[in-house]
């Protein structure tokens, strides 16, 4: 009975909230069939560019990876984007959209999970994602030379290591 009361109380609080903060990460996307980013079966290992070792993957998380390793960076992130675009968000995401629609100030989702913020059907001005989503790529002066390796110019199909 205590659990039911707690759930009802949480529902009341959500319904009456002016704004909602959503703590969502890789767990949300894993429930949609996406692999976690790290781990033995994660995107880290499945999407590595040809010839790149798992221990080198950290170099693709550095800000300058698109200038120092443009082919590997675009290959890796292009593949990750393709995987995310092909996934179908589960009902929990639509629930978050509904909550955000009813909250006066919408919702804020501080997440570092690229896949969580990438689902196109969830694009909503009522939800502010804190991390850049994969589709929102941009070139600055330093990475302009690397732009010729954009995600549409590299193979994005997965391969076995």
For the chain, give every domain's residue range.
19-153
- 11 close to 97: Cβ distance less than 8 angstroms: no
Q: Residue 135 contacts by C-beta under 8 Å, 6 or more apart in sequence?
A: 81, 118, 120
| Residue whose token pair is 């994969």 | 134
Q: What is the pTM of this model?
A: 0.59
Separation between Cα atoms, residue 132 and residue 130, nearest integer Å:
7
3 state SS of 108: strand
- 96 close to 127: Cβ distance less than 8 angstroms: yes
| Residue whose token pair is 């030379």 | 145
Tally of CB atoms within 10 A around 114:
20
pLDDT per residue, tens digit, the chain (161 aa), is 699 999 999 999 999 999 988 877 667 777 777 777 767 777 767 777 777 776 777 777 777 777 788 888 888 777 777 777 777 888 888 888 888 888 998 888 776 555 554 555 566 677 766 654 544 555 555 444 444 555 555 444 444 43
- In this prediction, residue 82 carries a pLDDT of 79
C-alpha closest to that of 133 among 123, 143, 144: 123
Tally of CB atoms within 10 A around 128:
15
- 90 close to 2: Cβ distance less than 8 angstroms: no
Separation between Cα atoms, residue 15 and residue 35, nearest integer Å:
32
Separation between Cα atoms, residue 66 and residue 71, nearest integer Å:
8
- 90 close to 31: Cβ distance less than 8 angstroms: yes
């Amino acid at each position: 009975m205590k659990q039911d009361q707690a759930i009802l109380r949480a529902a009341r609080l959500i319904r009456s909230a002016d704004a909602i903060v959503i703590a969502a990460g890789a767990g949300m996307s894993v429930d949609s069939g996406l692999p976690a980013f790290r781990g033995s079966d994660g995107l880290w290992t499945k999407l590595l560019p040809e010839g790149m070792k798992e221990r080198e993957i950290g170099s693709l998380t550095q800000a300058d990876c698109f200038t120092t390793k443009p082919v590997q960076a675009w290959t890796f992130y292009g593949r990750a984007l393709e995987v995310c675009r092909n996934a179908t968000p589960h009902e929990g995401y639509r629930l978050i959209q509904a909550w955000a629609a009813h909250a006066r100030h919408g919702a804020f989702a501080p997440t570092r999970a690229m896949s969580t913020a990438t689902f196109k059907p969830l694009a909503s001005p009522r939800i502010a994602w804190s991390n850049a989503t994969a589709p929102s790529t941009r070139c600055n002066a330093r990475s302009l030379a690397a732009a010729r390796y954009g995600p549409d110019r590299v193979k994005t199909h997965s391969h076995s290591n």
